[in-house]
């Protein structure tokens, strides 16, 4: 099939290259010239394990093109909309301007029989509205909503081996046509027996926001338990292990710590609340406000804990922050809890040095007021406290004995419950973590 992918961020760029891997001819389109130039050069514009190999391999086939010219989408049978839907400034709602603009420009090239397949995370009701415009302007063209569940850091694997496919389809016979087209796109995935849910637009849109809300709730649940553990002297890590053995609960996404950040979970729960409000169903989602509050409180608690271990004052204390990305295996710093804490510590008078294996360039650009170091050792030189705020493998595997020789005071704060308390305390460190007793 010939496919176009509009929007070449994390989602679109990985989707475009993956669709070639599945056997299609693909053109990826984005308004960002430098991004397109980088992709054409077989370089990844963001850090994503395995993506550069996938990109290079598929560019070499000659079946993957990148361009800023929307007219190149003409002739494709399926057009994927993969643009961002960030949070609006000063409000909870999602900003749909990129989705609107992408659809508007697609209308110029769309032919009867083409399928527009939306992948962006949108407020429920968006697909029905866009389908109406598409049907009016290009009779015979169809629209489907086909949400994406990829995680940063596992984007390639999640795109090529998704755990489910969700198709939000138009009503009547058009639905069958759209389903057949999507099945053809995903043929190898469908044939492998991947679970598939075919449904209406509203359900497909909600599947995505409901899934992210559930994940956020799970994280905030365990972080609320961490608050209680701090009050009672119980241990949240053991608690999570013990409840996680119940497979109705499960251990995944029960890692207590600094909480969730990134470009998806925080803005998706807020947009979901905003949309529920517009629909007159805001009460149904008021609990998400608490999920958000619990999450933000963890950052404040981390700063307090740092003050506590620094003998009650952060003024002039040298603090090393290991990790800036919102999670490991990513250079994404959108709503990064780690950088948020680093900035707070600095505001309160600490001398902060931040390091990260992949996100330094982005961090320097976005937070120029912070100090940065290339390595953990450099960041921790003569430090009064070391904070591990993103659980990169290199930090989890630090040797506490050797690392102890670098710092002024052996005090470590494990913001992600990712270090071995025993190993660090045996090496003479004061170990503190969220939701766990002092070690």
The 208-227 site mask, x for binding ligand UGA (CB under 6 A), equals: ----x--x---x--------
DSSP string, 354-418: EE-SS-HHHHHHH-TTSEE-SSHHHHHTT-SEEEE-S--HHHHT--HHHHHTT-SS-EEEETTS-
Of 59 and 341, the one with the shorter C-beta distance to ligand UGA is: 341
254 contributes a contact to ligand UGA by CB under 6 A: yes
Distance linking the first and last C-alpha atoms of the chain? 59
Q: Is the dihedral of CA 371, 435, 266, 280 positive or negative?
A: negative
395 contributes a contact to ligand UGA by CB under 6 A: no
**Rounded-to-integer distance, Cα 212 and Cα 235, Å:** 27
150 contributes a contact to ligand UGA by CB under 6 A: yes
151 contributes a contact to ligand UGA by CB under 6 A: yes
Which of residues 149, 297, 423, 427 is near ligand UGA by CB under 6 A? 149
CB of 212 to ligand UGA, least distance (A): 5
Non-local (6+) Cβ contacts of 306 within 8 A are: 314, 319, 341, 345, 350, 385, 387, 413
Which of residues 4, 38, 87, 121 is near ligand UGA by CB under 6 A? 121
Which of residues 262, 400, 415, 435 is near ligand UGA by CB under 6 A? 262
Respond yes or no: is residue 264 known to be catalytic: yes
**Rounded-to-integer distance, Cα 276 and Cα 375, Å:** 45
The 287-326 site mask, x for binding ligand UGA (CB under 6 A), equals: ---------------------------------------x
Non-local (6+) Cβ contacts of 192 within 8 A are: none
Burial class of residue 203 (count of CB atoms within 10 Å of its CB; 0-12, 13-18, 19+)? middle
338 contributes a contact to ligand UGA by CB under 6 A: no
259 contributes a contact to ligand UGA by CB under 6 A: yes
Of 294 and 320, the one with the shorter C-beta distance to ligand UGA is: 294
Which residues are known to be catalytic?
A: 264
Binding residues for ligand UGA, rule: CB under 6 A, are 121, 148-152, 212, 215, 219, 253-255, 257, 259-262, 264-265, 268, 326-327
């Amino acid at each position: 099939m010939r496919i176009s992918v509009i929007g070449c961020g994390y989602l679109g760029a990985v989707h475009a290259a993956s669709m070639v891997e599945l056997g299609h001819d693909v053109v990826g389109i984005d308004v960002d010239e430098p991004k397109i130039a980088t992709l054409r050069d077989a370089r990844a514009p963001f850090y994503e394990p395995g993506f550069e190999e996938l990109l290079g391999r598929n560019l070499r086939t000659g079946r993957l093109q990148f361009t800023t010219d929307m007219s190149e989408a003409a002739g494709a049978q399926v057009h994927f909309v993969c643009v961002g839907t960030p949070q609006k400034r000063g409000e909870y709602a999602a900003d749909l301007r990129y989705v609107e603009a992408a659809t508007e420009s697609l209308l110029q090239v769309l032919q009867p029989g083409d399928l527009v397949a939306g992948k962006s995370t949108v407020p429920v009701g968006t697909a029905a509205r866009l389908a109406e415009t598409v049907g009016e302007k290009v009779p015979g063209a169809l629209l489907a909503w086909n949400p994406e569940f990829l995680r940063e850091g596992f984007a390639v694997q999640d795109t090529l081996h998704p755990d489910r496919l969700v198709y939000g389809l138009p009503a009547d016979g058009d639905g069958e046509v759209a389903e057949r087209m999507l099945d053809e796109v995903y043929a190898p995935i469908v044939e492998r027996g991947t679970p598939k849910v075919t449904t209406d637009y509203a359900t497909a849109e909600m599947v995505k926001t409901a899934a992210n809300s559930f994940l956020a709730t799970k994280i905030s649940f365990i972080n609320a338990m961490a608050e209680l553990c701090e009050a009672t002297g119980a241990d949240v890590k053991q608690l999570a292990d013990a409840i996680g053995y119940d497979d109705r609960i499960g251990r995944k996404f029960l890692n207590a710590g600094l909480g969730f950040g990134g470009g998806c979970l925080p803005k998706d729960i807020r947009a979901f609340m905003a949309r529920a409000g517009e629909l007159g169903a805001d009460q149904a989602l008021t609990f998400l406000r608490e999920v958000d509050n619990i999450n933000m409180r963890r950052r404040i608690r981390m700063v307090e804990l740092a003050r506590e271990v620094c003998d009650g004052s952060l003024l002039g204390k040298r603090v090393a922050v290991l990790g800036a990305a919102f999670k490991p295996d990513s250079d994404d710093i959108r709503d990064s809890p780690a950088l948020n804490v680093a900035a707070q510590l600095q505001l309160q008078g600490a001398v902060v040095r931040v390091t990260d294996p992949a996100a330094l360039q982005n961090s320097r650009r976005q937070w120029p007021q912070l100090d940065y170091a290339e390595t953990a050792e450099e960041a921790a030189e003569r430090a009064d406290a070391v904070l591990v705020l993103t659980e990169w493998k290199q930090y989890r595997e630090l040797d506490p004995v050797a690392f102890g020789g670098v710092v002024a005071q052996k005090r470590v704060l494990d913001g992600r419950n990712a270090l071995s308390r025993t190993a660090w305390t045996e090496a003479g460190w004061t170990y503190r973590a969220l939701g766990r007793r002092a070690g």
